[in-house]
Amino acid sequence: MEEKYNDATKNRPEGDRPIDATAVVIDLPQFIHQIKDEKAWDKNDRNAITVFKSDKLRIVLVAMHADAVMQTQHPDNIFSVQVIDGKINLETNGKSVSIKEDELFVLHAGIPYKITAQSKAIFLLTIVE
Protein backbone atom coordinates (compact mmCIF):
# COMPACT_ATOMS: atom_id res chain seq x y z
CA MET A 1 0.00 0.00 0.00
CA GLU A 2 1.20 3.47 -0.86
CA GLU A 3 1.35 5.81 2.13
CA LYS A 4 -0.30 9.21 1.72
CA TYR A 5 0.70 12.39 3.48
CA ASN A 6 -0.93 15.77 3.68
CA ASP A 7 0.99 18.72 2.30
CA ALA A 8 2.14 21.60 4.45
CA THR A 9 0.02 24.74 4.09
CA LYS A 10 0.28 28.35 5.18
CA ASN A 11 -1.98 27.59 8.14
CA ARG A 12 -0.32 24.26 8.95
CA PRO A 13 3.32 24.63 7.91
CA GLU A 14 4.48 21.54 9.83
CA GLY A 15 2.42 19.41 7.40
CA ASP A 16 3.69 16.13 6.01
CA ARG A 17 1.83 13.88 8.45
CA PRO A 18 0.46 10.52 7.31
CA ILE A 19 -3.26 10.48 6.52
CA ASP A 20 -3.36 6.99 4.97
CA ALA A 21 -1.07 4.02 5.50
CA THR A 22 -1.28 0.37 6.49
CA ALA A 23 -1.65 1.58 10.08
CA VAL A 24 -2.13 5.19 11.19
CA VAL A 25 -1.88 6.18 14.84
CA ILE A 26 -4.02 9.24 15.56
CA ASP A 27 -3.06 11.19 18.67
CA LEU A 28 -6.42 12.84 19.39
CA PRO A 29 -5.27 14.95 22.37
CA GLN A 30 -2.43 16.36 20.24
CA PHE A 31 -4.78 17.19 17.34
CA ILE A 32 -7.35 18.72 19.71
CA HIS A 33 -4.65 20.95 21.15
CA GLN A 34 -3.49 21.86 17.63
CA ILE A 35 -6.88 22.92 16.25
CA LYS A 36 -7.73 24.90 19.39
CA ASP A 37 -4.34 26.63 19.23
CA GLU A 38 -4.69 27.76 15.59
CA LYS A 39 -5.80 31.26 14.56
CA ALA A 40 -8.78 29.74 12.73
CA TRP A 41 -10.24 28.67 16.10
CA ASP A 42 -10.04 32.25 17.39
CA LYS A 43 -11.36 33.86 14.18
CA ASN A 44 -14.14 31.43 13.20
CA ASP A 45 -16.97 29.51 14.81
CA ARG A 46 -15.17 26.21 14.19
CA ASN A 47 -11.93 24.53 13.15
CA ALA A 48 -11.25 21.05 11.81
CA ILE A 49 -8.48 18.76 10.65
CA THR A 50 -8.63 15.59 8.57
CA VAL A 51 -6.85 12.89 10.58
CA PHE A 52 -7.43 10.00 8.14
CA LYS A 53 -8.40 9.88 4.48
CA SER A 54 -8.58 6.95 2.11
CA ASP A 55 -10.67 6.31 -0.98
CA LYS A 56 -13.34 4.68 1.24
CA LEU A 57 -13.21 6.49 4.59
CA ARG A 58 -12.52 9.98 5.91
CA ILE A 59 -12.18 10.95 9.58
CA VAL A 60 -12.29 14.63 10.51
CA LEU A 61 -11.73 16.06 13.99
CA VAL A 62 -14.06 19.05 14.40
CA ALA A 63 -14.11 21.71 17.13
CA MET A 64 -17.09 24.08 17.28
CA HIS A 65 -17.79 27.10 19.48
CA ALA A 66 -21.17 27.26 21.24
CA ASP A 67 -24.02 28.01 18.81
CA ALA A 68 -21.92 27.23 15.71
CA VAL A 69 -23.95 25.46 13.01
CA MET A 70 -22.94 22.90 10.39
CA GLN A 71 -25.57 21.66 7.95
CA THR A 72 -26.23 20.22 4.53
CA GLN A 73 -29.36 19.57 2.51
CA HIS A 74 -27.97 16.78 0.31
CA PRO A 75 -25.39 14.62 2.09
CA ASP A 76 -23.94 12.06 -0.30
CA ASN A 77 -22.57 9.63 2.26
CA ILE A 78 -23.31 7.69 5.41
CA PHE A 79 -21.54 9.36 8.32
CA SER A 80 -21.15 9.17 12.07
CA VAL A 81 -20.55 11.80 14.73
CA GLN A 82 -18.80 10.76 17.95
CA VAL A 83 -18.72 13.50 20.58
CA ILE A 84 -15.43 13.65 22.47
CA ASP A 85 -16.15 16.74 24.55
CA GLY A 86 -19.13 19.04 24.99
CA LYS A 87 -22.63 18.64 23.61
CA ILE A 88 -24.20 19.03 20.17
CA ASN A 89 -27.73 19.00 18.84
CA LEU A 90 -28.50 17.12 15.63
CA GLU A 91 -31.69 17.96 13.75
CA THR A 92 -32.96 15.76 10.95
CA ASN A 93 -36.38 14.94 9.52
CA GLY A 94 -38.04 17.35 11.95
CA LYS A 95 -36.54 15.58 14.97
CA SER A 96 -33.88 16.86 17.33
CA VAL A 97 -31.39 14.69 19.23
CA SER A 98 -28.91 15.88 21.84
CA ILE A 99 -25.57 14.07 21.68
CA LYS A 100 -23.10 14.38 24.52
CA GLU A 101 -19.60 13.22 25.33
CA ASP A 102 -19.01 9.50 24.64
CA GLU A 103 -22.12 9.18 22.46
CA LEU A 104 -22.23 8.29 18.77
CA PHE A 105 -24.81 9.13 16.12
CA VAL A 106 -25.01 7.53 12.65
CA LEU A 107 -26.97 8.96 9.73
CA HIS A 108 -27.64 7.45 6.31
CA ALA A 109 -26.88 9.25 3.05
CA GLY A 110 -29.43 11.58 1.52
CA ILE A 111 -30.93 12.77 4.81
CA PRO A 112 -30.58 16.54 5.40
CA TYR A 113 -29.17 17.46 8.80
CA LYS A 114 -28.13 20.37 10.98
CA ILE A 115 -25.58 20.14 13.78
CA THR A 116 -25.56 22.92 16.39
CA ALA A 117 -22.98 23.08 19.18
CA GLN A 118 -24.80 23.54 22.49
CA SER A 119 -21.47 24.35 24.13
CA LYS A 120 -17.90 24.27 22.91
CA ALA A 121 -17.77 20.82 21.38
CA ILE A 122 -15.24 18.47 19.86
CA PHE A 123 -16.27 15.48 17.78
CA LEU A 124 -15.08 12.99 15.21
CA LEU A 125 -16.93 13.11 11.92
CA THR A 126 -16.45 9.80 10.08
CA ILE A 127 -17.60 9.71 6.46
CA VAL A 128 -17.95 6.54 4.40
CA GLU A 129 -16.98 7.45 0.84
pLDDT of amino acid 74? 82
pLDDT 10s digits, 9-32: 666 656 667 788 888 889 999 999
The tally of domains found in the chain comes to: 1
3 is a domain residue: no
d(CA 25, CA 116): 29
pLDDT of amino acid 2? 77
CATH assignment at residue 90: 2.60.120.10
Instruction: Count CB atoms within 10 A of the CB of residue 76.
Output: 10
pLDDT of amino acid 11? 67
Band (pLDDT 50/70/90 cuts) for residue 37 is: very high
- Mean pLDDT, rounded, for 75-99: 95
68 is a domain residue: yes
20 is a domain residue: no
pLDDT of amino acid 114? 96
99 is a domain residue: yes
Residues of the domain holding 84: 28-128
86 is a domain residue: yes
